Amino acid sequence: MLSYRHAFHAGNHADVLKHAVLVLLLNALKRKDKPFVCIDTHAGAGRYDLADPKAQQTHEYEQGIARWWHSTDPVLVPYLDCVRALNEHGPLRWYPGSPLIARMLLRPEDRLALLELHPTDYAALAAGFEGDPAVKVERADAHARLKAWLPPPERRGLVFIDPPYELRKEEAQVVDLLTESHRRWATGIYAIWFPILTRLAAQRFVERLAATGIRRQLVIEYMPFGEDTTVGLKGSGVVIVNPPYPLETELAALCVALEKHDGAARARVRWSVGE
């Protein structure tokens, strides 16, 4: 039963973090001439209208993209440029999901491959990329389908894993997905988003990923309201396996940028598993 719809959450603080990281990762891959693939395992609808009743019901974007929209911080500008491009430099209304952000950054030789299970979001996603030869879209369960795509022919690229975590089993599924994917493609870059509902639960999840034995896991976490907030989604994080150079330095700059915006905000980057 799929009840999660990203339209309620589009552009929130978690999207700001995960999409800023996505842009840094793709731009790092573009530093080499060789083609790469970006695989987005939980792609969503691709594009969101912040004037839609779903976004207007939660107003989550107000604590996210709306606060950063005018930022000129160099580490955020490449991400914000993607959002601005969708709004044709007018007022903020449209928010790009991860597939659209990735598509904006691809070079002609690069490729995007998308999985989405929800029928409505899949239909919107497929319609948005119809006729685009650089983009493959499938309606499938990422946990069953991803393995067939690994290793990719390019042997370079990113697997972006952004599940809703609405089912209890999903954390364990993500650990298995990383383990199985890394076994097939050990040199790929993997970015796994996770929520911070409590510090302890988030820490346990990061430890479960670390316990896979997979080396080189870098973690960024962002809590926009500080530690003592009563808000449900206190923050979120991304675990990056095989982070490309110079991501660690860029994530440190991203932490500074994210904290600067609000005195209570906390952001940090650290290795959960080293070399």
Ligand X SMILES: C[S@@+](CC[C@H](N)C(=O)[O-])C[C@H]1O[C@@H](n2cnc3c(N)ncnc32)[C@H](O)[C@@H]1O
Catalytic residue among 162, 176, 228, 262: 162
Between 121 and 221, whose beta carbon lies closer to ligand X?
A: 121
Torsion angle of C-alpha atoms 245, 247, 248, 252, degrees rounded to 10 = 150
CB of residue 122 to ligand X, shortest distance in Å: 8
Which residues in the 93-122 window bind ligand X by CB under 6 A? Answer: 97-98, 115-118, 121
Locate 169 and state its tokens: 């089993």
Q: Determine if 13 is a binding residue for ligand X (CB under 6 A).
A: no
Q: Which residue has the tokens 């959450």?
A: 9
Instruction: Decide if 162 is catalytic.
Output: yes
Cβ proximity to ligand X: between 161 and 273 the closer is 161
Q: What are the angstrom distances between the C-alpha of 132 and each of 48, 82, 110, 268, 274?
A: 19, 19, 12, 38, 39
Closest of 108, 148, 138, 179 to residue 40, by C-alpha = 138
220 with 254: CB under 8 angstroms? yes
Nearer to ligand X, 110 or 116 (CB): 116
The strands making up 135-138's β-sheet, listed across from edge to edge, are 135-138, 111-115, 37-40, 157-161, 189-196, 235-241, 217-223, 266-273
Does the footprint of ligand X cover residue 142 (CB under 6 A)?
yes
Site for ligand X in 29-48 (CB under 6 A): 40, 42-44
- Residue from 52, 109, 132, 141 touching ligand X (CB under 6 A): that is 141
Nearer Cβ to ligand X, position 162 or 221? 162
Residues lying near ligand X in the complex (CB under 6 A) are found at 2, 4, 6, 18, 40, 42-44, 97-98, 115-118, 121, 141-143, 162-164
Task: Provide the annotated active-site residues.
Answer: 162
